[in-house]
Structure formats: structure tokens, C-alpha cells
């Protein structure tokens, strides 16, 4: 199977700390406003129309009374905990994390500075690590596939390899999402991975020199039958420009049809999703609605000058297609612009804002839910493909991609 047809996940990146996991992969499911030169507060106003985002909370006497037990506990930790001195920064970050976790929303949470930096890596297009697509849904951190020409590939890691130790530290009882942090590190440094591989009676050890990994947001090529193929792995900074370049190159070859592959694409910037959809539908059509807690809505419409408004299309989706991927697939399905092929999507129908905290990381808070142009609410439900096609273990073992084959069949017929 060529690298463009492999089922992929977002790279070994800490974004999965705030992801929902599922069998077969990580659905990152982030959905955030695009960065600009404006301040974060102004950015929030522009994207979500939430005036409260710019207000500074002033504690009242009631709040001061409410927090007396907190400060009492703080003092007790500093005076009674056996291992002194305690780290006040760690305590502060733990308090923020606990507050957000108590909301019971898996998409709302706290990122410390390192997590925040690494969470943006897939959108910015590069990060430091070993270069592998991974799965955190099982007992162990598992390699889906090494990236082509990456340190992971050159070291000999293979799909299905399970990481059971990092730098000789047993991590079999550790959350796979947290194991990612051990694997990441500055380019040029070495990480030692102990691997459990199917068919091998003993564990295997690999010393891998980390490198700066460039993450392509788009890969494209012409398939058999004169079918154009574009795979989006994220909705990041350069996705729209890369998509336009790919479309210009592919459409110049007069293809019979176009396949847009959104499998295991966990999402990205809201504005990028609108820009991507705009390449395939007429301008000024609804792409999505954002609905807030008070019942008010914002409407996002397609932009003019789309490059591929009439070519027959198939969109490939699966259980790892989330958030901005579902925005794109849902809009194209609602307008009967494309046939959806694959499996039920993840069901990430909420919108988050990331707000930096005074050099102490950032908070990620759910501010709205979104609906498709036909006002479908897909949160925790997902999109149902027009044609269901499953990939079995036998298909994987034989390097077959029946979902892609079905898409080519539809467009060639």
C-alpha cells in the first residue's frame, strides 16, 4: 500500500492528552479558532461572539469565603506533607486541571506549557520526535505506522509494535497518552524504546535519535482510472494553500473524479474547515452553525472562488474522522456534493477555545456545539456514510484498502 493510502493518525503529539480515544486510533477532535496577530481575547470575540471571554473576573466576598477550604488545604500541604518543600507551580497547575476536569467534559481541560506547545505541533506542521502515527486507545502506546523516512522507520519500528518501556523505565501501567510525553524530546537526543512485537517471544530494544519532523497536511496523487486523490491529515495553518496547489495540479490532468480522504483526521482550525469546504461548493452557502448555551447562533458560509465545484467526489471517513473533518464531510453530504464512504465518524460536535494563561500553559474550554447545514447535531453520534465499508484485519494483513477501492469504483463507473 502506498504511503498516501495508509490509514494515518495525527503524529506522536501530546494533543491526545485532550483527545477521546476509540478502538483503532486516536480522534484528536480539536476545533479551535485560527491564530492571528490579534490578542487571544479579541480572537475569541471575533470567532465565537462571546463577550464574557474579554471580561476579567473580580472575586467577591462570597468567593473569598468559598475558597477558604482551598487555602486551608494549601496551608496544610505546606506544613504537614512529608516531602518538603512542595512545588507551588505544580500545585497551582494541579488545581486548575482539577477544576476543569470537574466539569465532566473530556474536551475541556488544562495544558501545561509543554503540553500547550506540543498540542500546536500538528497545526504548525512540525515537531521534535521520532515520526510515527500512534494509537493510544489500547493498553499500550502502539505504532500504527512509521512516517516515511522518519527516525522511527529507519530504526525498524513496525505497525503493531507496542511500547512497553521508555529509557529502561517500565511504562506498562502508565496511560498511553502520557507515554507520548516520554517519547517526545528535542531533535538530536536519543530515546530508547522497548517494544513488544507480535510473533516475537522476546522484547526488542531500539535506540532512536529524535529529529525535527515535518508533518504534511496534504498528500495527493493520481490513482488508477484517472482518479484524483487528496488526503488531508489535519486542518492547520497551511492546509488551505496546500489544498489549492494540489487541486490545481490534479485538475489540470482532467480526472474523472476526486477522492477526499479524511480518515483519522482529528480536526483543526474552524476557519480552515470553512476554507476547505469552500473549494467544493458554491459561495455563500451555509457550512455550519455554531449554537451557544443561551440558544444563540453564528452562521459560517462558504467563500467564493472554489476550484472544484463540479467534479464528481467521494469523501472517505471512518471512526477517526472528527470535528473539522466532520464539518467538511457533513456539509458535502448535506448538499449531495459528495458520496461518503467508510465507517461512522467519531461524533465530535463541539467547539473549543484555547486561551493562554500568563506563561503557564493554556485552558481549553468548550464554548458551543455545531450543526451541519441541514441542522444535524452529530455530537456523540457522528456522520453515517452513504456507503458503509469496513476494513478488516485480513485487509490490513494483505495491504488492502477496500474503502479506497470502493471510492475508485464509484467514480470510474
Q: Which of 135, 161, 242, 334 is catalytic?
A: 334
Helices and strands, number each (H, E), in the chain: 13, 23
Separation in Å, CA 308 to CA 272, 321, 325: 16, 22, 18
Copy the grid coordinates of residue 1.
Answer: 500500500
Q: Residue 301 catalytic?
A: no
- Is residue 11 within 8 Å of 132, Cβ to Cβ? yes
Q: Which of 149, 119, 102 is nearest to 355 (CA)?
A: 119
DSSP, collapsed to helix, strand or coil, labels residue 264 as coil
Q: Which of 34, 223, 348, 406 is catalytic?
A: 348
DSSP at 91: H
Copy the grid coordinates of residue 4.
Answer: 498516501
Measured CA to CA, the distance from residue 27 to residue 264 in angstroms comes to 7
DSSP at 95: H
Measured CA to CA, the distance from residue 22 to residue 346 in angstroms comes to 8
Q: Residue 323 catalytic?
A: yes
Q: Which of 323, 325, 350, 401 is catalytic?
A: 323
The length of the chain is: 413
Transcribe 317-379 into DSSP letters.
E-TT--THHHHHHHHHHHTT-SEEEES------EEEEEEE-TTS-EEEEEEEEEE-TT--B-T
The set of catalytic residues is 323, 334, 348
Amino acid at each position: 500500500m502506498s504511503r498516501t493510502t495508509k490509514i494515518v493518525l495525527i503524529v506522536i503529539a501530546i494533543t491526545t492528552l485532550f483527545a477521546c480515544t476509540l478502538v483503532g486510533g486516536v480522534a484528536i477532535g480539536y476545533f479551535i479558532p485560527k491564530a492571528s496577530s490579534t490578542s487571544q481575547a479579541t480572537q475569541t470575540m471575533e470567532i465565537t461572539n462571546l463577550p464574557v471571554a474579554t471580561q476579567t473576573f473580580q472575586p467577591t466576598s462570597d468567593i473569598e469565603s468559598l475558597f477558604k477550604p482551598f487555602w486551608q488545604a494549601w496551608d496544610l500541604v505546606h506544613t504537614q506533607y512529608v516531602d518538603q518543600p512542595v512545588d507551588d507551580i505544580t500545585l497551582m497547575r494541579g488545581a486548575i486541571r482539577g477544576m476543569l476536569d470537574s466539569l465532566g467534559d473530556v474536551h475541556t481541560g488544562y495544558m501545561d506549557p509543554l503540553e500547550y506547545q506540543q498540542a500546536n505541533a500538528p497545526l504548525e506542521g512540525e515537531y521534535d520526535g521520532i515520526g510515527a502515527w500512534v494509537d493510544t486507545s489500547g493498553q499500550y502506546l502502539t505504532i500504527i505506522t512509521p512516517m516515511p523516512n522518519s527516525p522511527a522507520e529507519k530504526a525498524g519500528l513496525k505497525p503493531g509494535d507496542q511500547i512497553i518501556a521508555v529509557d529502561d523505565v517500565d511504562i506498562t501501567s502508565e496511560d498511553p497518552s502520557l507515554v507520548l510525553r516520554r517519547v517526545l524530546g528535542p531533535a538530536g537526543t536519543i530515546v530508547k524504546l522497548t517494544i513488544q512485537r507480535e510473533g516475537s517471544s522476546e522484547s526488542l530494544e531500539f535506540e532512536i535519535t529524535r529529529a525535527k519532523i515535518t508533518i504534511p497536511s496534504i498528500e495527493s496523487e493520481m490513482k488508477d482510472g484517472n482518479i484524483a486523490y487528496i488526503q488531508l491529515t489535519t486542518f492547520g495553518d497551511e492546509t488551505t494553500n496546500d489544498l489549492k496547489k494540489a487541486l490545481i495540479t490534479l485538475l489540470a490532468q482532467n480526472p474523472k473524479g476526486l477522492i477526499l480522504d479524511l480518515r483519522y483526521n482529528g480536526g483543526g482550525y474552524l476557519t480552515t474547515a470553512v476554507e476547505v469546504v469552500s473549494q467544493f461548493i458554491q459561495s455563500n452557502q451555509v457550512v455550519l452553525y455554531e449554537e451557544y448555551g443561551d440558544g444563540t447562533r453564528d452562521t459560517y458560509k462558504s467563500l467564493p472562488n472554489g476550484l472544484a465545484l463540479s467534479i464528481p467526489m467521494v469523501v472517505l471517513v471512518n471512526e477517526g474522522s472528527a470535528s473539522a473533518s466532520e464539518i467538511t464531510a457533513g456539509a458535502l453530504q448535506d448538499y449531495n456534493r459528495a458520496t461518503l464512504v467508510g465507517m461512522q465518524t467519531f461524533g465530535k460536535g463541539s467547539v473549543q477555545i484555547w486561551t493562554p494563561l500568563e506563561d503557564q500553559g493554556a485552558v481549553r474550554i468548550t464554548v458551543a456545539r455545531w450543526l451541519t447545514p441541514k441542522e444535524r447535531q452529530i455530537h456523540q453520534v457522528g456522520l453515517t456514510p452513504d456507503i458503509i465499508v469496513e476494513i478488516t484485519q485480513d485487509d490490513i494483513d494483505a495491504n488492502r484498502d477496500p474503502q479506497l477501492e470502493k471510492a475508485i469504483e464509484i467514480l470510474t463507473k
